[in-house]
Amino acid sequence: MAPIDHAEILRKGVEEFRDFVNPLVAARVLVTGEPHRIAGTRGGRLLLPDGRLIEDLHGTQSLGHRASAVADALRDYLATDAPSWYPSRVNPYAGRLGRALFERTGYDNAFFGMSGSDVVEAAMKLARAATGRPRLLSLVGAYHGTTMGSCALMNPGMFRDPFAPHLPGVSPVPREDVDALARALTPGDVAAIIVEPIQLEGGVFPLSESYIAALCELTEKHGVLLVADEVQTGLGRLGRFLGTSTWPRRPDVVVLAKALGGGLLPCSAMLTRKETFLRAYGKDMATAEAHNVTFGGNAMSCVAALSMLDLLTPEVFAVAGARGDHFQAALRRGLSGCPLVVEVRGAGLIAGVELLAVDHPWLSFEHFGIDELHGFSPIGLLVCHRMYKRGYYCFVCGHRWSTLRLQPRLDIEESALDAFVTALREEIDAIAELV
């Protein structure tokens, strides 16, 4: 068999993706001008064929693209003859990763999947099985995944509506409304509430300290499992391993994904206490595998995750915390007085910049011939389009396209953050001059 020609794939694979994977995504990148023909990586950034470098602010590559230590760990593993998948389901690499996560978090039971959706789904099933209760709650504006169960937790819209009818017994409560939460929990039939410490796709809204306190108190009072979706807030992005480590009580379940695999392999984890797992699945040996993912906890993904955990040192967290403070201050200072900026929100290396949805005939999807997106503001996408040309991969919130969602890598330099804020202000001002 001929070796894979990686250079040819990078040159021609975009057309093959369009023809055989997802034509609409391929069309979108052409319309928006997203950098998509990638020649490689350099210093954690994406390298374009013309030599330009792109700083990725999506958040999945929390230590930059192709973290060398993770890549080296995978090469070392492949130099052995150890299997990646164990037919018995007793994978020693999963055991070692579970132990490493216990040492970091105190949760002594782990379930491993491949994505955030996998482990949110696992948490939903765990909650119903452990409590015997039918109802599951989320917060309005949530984004928890795209499987049928996690999709039911989703905010109404394009990610949820086409797939109705949804899983019964799942409903949202308003974010920050303590009275509504208390009313929802009072009947005693709620198994769990799943929350994001910072609601990213909903617009980058951190939960307030007062709401978190009420959430912890009320769930404990009513025997409801508190599930924290830390897919985007965990693993150092807030300057600590878990964003919820400062909460008044530890959540019953935490889910991690995205950066857990070091940016190179898919890996996700649902962490809980062994006693909660046994309440759900400890009836007999057959029940123990009532929920599983065939390749969850495979050796290669676990090696990547173990290597990533080794990189997440207290020193890295301290740097990330300081850079997060600098980023938040730089954004608020640099965007102050900008007529198109409504608000800057966030914490640590998670920021949201809400933009004014201006009423202008040129700044509408109808103007660009996309009538089906009537009612959506293109202002965020227009800013992203301009930032691509400045060397930054920016994104809008999935449920709130007028808000930019910004998640720089943990080790980004302060000078790079300052340069980004300067470029962002210039491009927003350039759009403001058109209206």
Each residue's pLDDT tens digit, 264-288? 999 999 999 999 999 999 988 888 8
> Which of 311, 346, 367 is at the close of a domain?
311
Residue 226: pLDDT band with limits 50, 70, 90: very high
Give me the half-sphere count of Cα atoms (radius 13 Å) on the Cβ side of residue 387. Answer: 25
Give me the half-sphere count of Cα atoms (radius 13 Å) on the Cβ side of residue 415. Answer: 0
Does residue 185 fall inside a structural domain?
Answer: yes
Same-domain pairing of 147 and 84: yes
Lowest mean pLDDT among 58-62, 329-333, 379-383: 379-383
Domain span holding position 360: 33-66+314-433
> Which of 311, 332, 355 is at the close of a domain?
311
Same-domain pairing of 120 and 267: yes
Q: Which residue has the higher pLDDT, 37 or 346?
A: 346
Contact criterion met (CB below 8 Å) for 98 and 272: no
Contact criterion met (CB below 8 Å) for 418 and 323: no
- The arithmetic mean of pLDDT across residues 89-101, rounded, is 96
Residue 376: pLDDT band with limits 50, 70, 90: low
Lowest mean pLDDT among 23-37, 233-247, 324-338: 23-37
DSSP string of 28-43, one letter each residue: HHHHHT------EEET
Same-domain pairing of 306 and 194: yes
Same-domain pairing of 235 and 342: no
Same-domain pairing of 427 and 283: no
> Which of 260, 285, 311 is at the close of a domain?
311
Same-domain pairing of 204 and 328: no
Q: How far apart are CA 51 and CA 12, in angstroms?
A: 18
Contact criterion met (CB below 8 Å) for 242 and 105: yes
- The arithmetic mean of pLDDT across residues 369-389, rounded, is 78
Start-to-end Cα distance in the chain? 58
CA angle 222, 116, 264 (to 5 degrees): 150
Instruction: Give start and end residues of each alpha helix (H) in 207-313.
Output: 209-221, 274-281, 299-311
CATH number of the domain residue 321 falls in: 3.90.1150.10
What's the pLDDT at 8? 87
- The arithmetic mean of pLDDT across residues 140-157, rounded, is 92
Does residue 7 fall inside a structural domain?
Answer: no
Q: How far apart are CA 152 and CA 168, in angstroms?
A: 8
Residue with token string 């929920």? 291
What's the pLDDT at 375? 62
Give buried/exposed letters for 195-213 (b at 16+ CB in 10 A, else e): bbbbbbbbbbbbbeeebbe
The closest alpha carbon to 170, from 133, 201, 214, 198, belongs to 133
What's the pLDDT at 170? 95
CATH number of the domain residue 284 falls in: 3.40.640.10
Residue with token string 């878990």? 242
Q: How many domains does the chain have?
A: 2
- The arithmetic mean of pLDDT across residues 199-218, rounded, is 96
Same-domain pairing of 294 and 340: no
Q: What are phi and psi of 206, to 5 degrees?
A: -70, 140
Same-domain pairing of 109 and 225: yes
- The arithmetic mean of pLDDT across residues 166-184, rounded, is 96
Does residue 22 fall inside a structural domain?
Answer: no
Residue 28: pLDDT band with limits 50, 70, 90: confident
Q: How far apart are CA 227 and CA 290, in angstroms?
A: 20
pTM of the model: 0.93
